[in-house]
Amino acid sequence: MTLPSTYADRNCSLARSLEIVGERWTLLIIRDAFFGVRRFGDFATQLKIPRAVLTNRLKLLVQEGVLIRDEEATGGVEYRLTAKGVGLWPVVRAFMNWGDTFYSPSGVKRAQRHDQDGGLLDREGRCQDCGLAVPVPEIRIEPGPGFCRTDSDLDPVSNAINTPRRLLEPIVRPRTPSAGEGELSATRSTGRAD
Amino acid sequence: MTLPSTYADRNCSLARSLEIVGERWTLLIIRDAFFGVRRFGDFATQLKIPRAVLTNRLKLLVQEGVLIRDEEATGGVEYRLTAKGVGLWPVVRAFMNWGDTFYSPSGVKRAQRHDQDGGLLDREGRCQDCGLAVPVPEIRIEPGPGFCRTDSDLDPVSNAINTPRRLLEPIVRPRTPSAGEGELSATRSTGRAD
DNA sequence: CTCCCCAGTTCACTCATTGAACTGACGCGT
DNA sequence: ACGCGTCAGTTCAATGAGTGAACTGGGGAG
């Protein structure tokens, strides 16, 4: 696909990984999925990514088992991270750590907490209160000291993902305000990370 | 540059990081740098990357302070990771872990050891013998159980980086066969990772 | 002077990305 | 039934980046 086939030897798992998630936009799509974005249109508007590209990326990610595509009873389509996709959290975290360290002098842009006890997570995702390696669905993410609040954010989707929330929890869309969206899959069997 | 400018909000360090190292080839260049590749021509032949692209990537990486470009006394040019570049090791490691987990059923393609005591490193880079978080220059990398030995490897550069070696140690090039390349910069003050 | 190595450039070709408009399925209110 | 809005996904012309091969130009060695 994007990989020039000879994307380095087969003997490098880095190269292999990049073949799947190394294309432009892909990791941002996955980040959004961690933040609870699930709908085609939400990915498109939040990332401002051309819909044709989004279609391609989602197709590849589904094909590789990073996402699953769910046609809901309501007719809606949802893309959700599989266990394999959740396994990418350390990658996302490592990128965030690096960016925070070298491009965010005023502190991390997003802080991570253990939802159960409110403890801050260290760079490796361990809760500084209870000492556990926190599984992804128990991670609560919230704006950190380096976050630049643009008073009225942009679209509702961006606003939603900038609100303190647990990872993987679907964003609440202003549409269908009080429907039965309450606790659908809740803590699904999204497997454990890492 | 490659980033469509509106590469998501400024409030995401993931997006910021991807602006620097998210382009095609870039992370492979950095991986090679960790493995001791330093010369323009070596990057080009090992990665089989068009030289024009390599020029662009190196230029950006130098500009961002991920690499430094050294004109040696001998007239040679060397690209080396800065501390900021070494800080990308957790990113590289996370990608390798993921690729090993999901695309290398027979085990990791490259094993990491603590050079001082030979202990294997866990996924977070901690030595299982001494328990320390091993700084990058002390990490020894070697073919693991998932490594596919293609008997006569390809170019000498690929052969070199598939040989057990410490990270950041410059590869020995068949050129100048028995020069004083032995223990040059050794454990440089390349800072500590993470 | 000549040959070779090496970093980097040039250039024509191809292919992916872009952005905007469009399609078609579905659900809802009247 | 009808029209309307939403949503997933497609189409398409224009742009831009990646590709590969050939070329430039400087330095060292014989």
ipTM: 0.88
Q: Could you tell me which of A14, A83, A93, A125 has the C-alpha nearest to residue B93? A: A14
pLDDT of residue B11: 87
Predicted confidence at residue A10, as pLDDT, reads 75
Summarize the confidence of residues B144-148 as an average pLDDT. 91
SS (H, E, C) A70-83: EECCCCCEEEEECH
Q: Residue B178: which residues within 8 A CB-CB, separation 6 or more?
A: none
Per-residue flag: A77 CB under 7 A of strand D = yes
A67 contact to strand D (CB, 7 A limit): no
User: What pLDDT was estimated at residue B182?
Assistant: 36
Which single residue has its CA nearest the C1' atom of nucleotide C10? B52
The domain ranges of chain B are 13-84, 88-153
B151-166 residue pLDDT tens: 556 678 888 888 999 9
Chain B residues with CB inside 8 Å of A11's CB?
A: 109-110, 143, 147-148, 162
* The pLDDT of residue A11: 87
Whether A130 and A114 have beta carbons less than 8 Å apart is answered as: yes
- Model pLDDT, residue A192: 41
Q: Which of residues 47-76 of B touch strand C (CB under 7 A)?
A: 50-52, 55, 58, 69, 76
Q: Taking CB atoms and an 8 Å limit, are B13 and A194 in contact across chains?
A: no
pLDDT in tens, chain A (194 residues): 444 444 456 789 999 999 999 999 999 999 999 999 999 999 999 999 999 999 999 999 999 999 999 988 777 899 999 999 999 999 999 999 999 999 999 999 999 999 999 999 999 999 999 999 999 999 999 999 999 877 556 678 888 888 999 999 998 765 443 333 333 333 333 334 34
The residue-averaged pLDDT of B110-121 equals 96
Q: What is the chain A residue with the closest CA to B105?
A: A13
Token couple for A114: 């253990």
Residues on chain A touching B147 (C-beta within 8 angstroms): 11
Among the partner-chain residues A13, A23, A102, the one whose CB lies closest to the CB of B87 is A102
The CA distance from A27 to B14, in Å, is 8
Is the Cβ pair B109, A13 closer than 8 Å? yes
Q: Extract the runs of DSSP E, i.e. beta strands, from B65-107.
A: 67-71, 77-81
CATH 1.10.10.10, applies to A13-84: yes
Query: In the predicted model, what is the mean pLDDT of chain A?
Result: 85
